[in-house]
Chain A
Amino acid sequence: MKSVTLFVGTSKGLYVFRSGAARSRWRREGPHFVGEPIYHAGFDPRDGSSVYVATNQTWGGPRIEVSRDVGRTWTTASNPKFPEGSDLAFARTWHIEPGHATQPDVVWAGVEPAALFRSDDRGMTWQPVPGMNEHKSRSQWSPGNGGLGLHSIAIDARDAKWMAIGISAAGVFESRDGGKRWDPANKGIRSQYIPDPEAEIGHCIHHLVAHPVASGVRFQKVHDNAYWREDGVSKWTDVTAGLPSEFGFAAAIHPHDAATAYTVPLDPRPRLAPEPGIAVYRTRDRGQNWKRMSRGLPRGAQLEVLREGLTTDRLDPAGVYFGSKDGGVWASADEGTSWTQVAAYLPPVLSVTAATT
Chain B
Amino acid sequence: MTQVSQVTVQLHGPFREFAGGSKSLDVDGASVGEALRALVTAIPALGERLRDERGELREHINVFVNSDEMRWLEGERTPLRDGDLVHVMPALSGGEEQR
Contact: A61 with B99, CB < 8 Å? no
Q: Select one of B13, B48, B54 contacting A61, CB under 8 A.
A: B48
> Is B98 in contact with chain A by the CB < 8 A criterion?
yes
Structural contact, B96 and A61, CB atoms closer than 8 A: no
B13 contacts A59, CB within 8 Å? yes
A146 touches B52 (CB 8 A): no
Q: How far, in whole Å, are A145 and B99 apart by their CA atoms in the complex? A: 8
Write the nearest CB–CB distance from A36 to chain B, whole angstroms.
Answer: 9
Is A287's beta carbon under 8 Å from chain B? Answer: no
- Contact count band on A: 20 to 34
Interface assignment of B73: CB less than 8 Å from any CB of chain A: no
Bound together, the chains give a CA A146 to CA B97 distance in angstroms of 11
Per the bound structure, the CA–CA distance linking A58 and B92 in Å amounts to 10
Given known pairs A11-B98, A90-B53, A147-B99, the reply for A63 and B48 (CB within 8 Å) is yes
Looking at the assembled complex, report how far the CB atom of B22 sits from the nearest CB atom of chain A, in whole angstroms: 14
Select B58's contact among A61, A82, A147, A348, beta carbons within 8 Å. Answer: A61
Whether a CB of chain B sits under 8 angstroms from the CB of A57 is yes
Contact with A along B69-99 (1 / 0, CB 8 A): 0000000000000000000001101001011
Q: Looking at the assembled complex, report how far the CB atom of B62 sits from the nearest CB atom of chain A, in whole angstroms.
A: 10
A195 contacts partner chain B, Cβ-Cβ < 8 Å: no
Residues of B within 8 A of A63 (CB): 48-49
Most buried by B among A60, A82, A146, A147: A60
Q: B residues near A, CB below 8 A?
A: 13-15, 18, 45, 48-50, 52-54, 56, 58-61, 90-91, 93, 96, 98-99
Across the A-B interface, give the 4 residue pairs with the lowest CB-CB distance, nearest first. A60-B49, A81-B53, A59-B90, A11-B98
Q: List 18 A-B contacts (CB under 8 A).
A: A57-B14, A58-B59, A58-B93, A59-B13, A59-B91, A60-B14, A60-B18, A61-B48, A61-B52, A61-B58, A63-B48, A78-B48, A82-B53, A89-B52, A89-B54, A89-B56, A348-B98, A350-B98
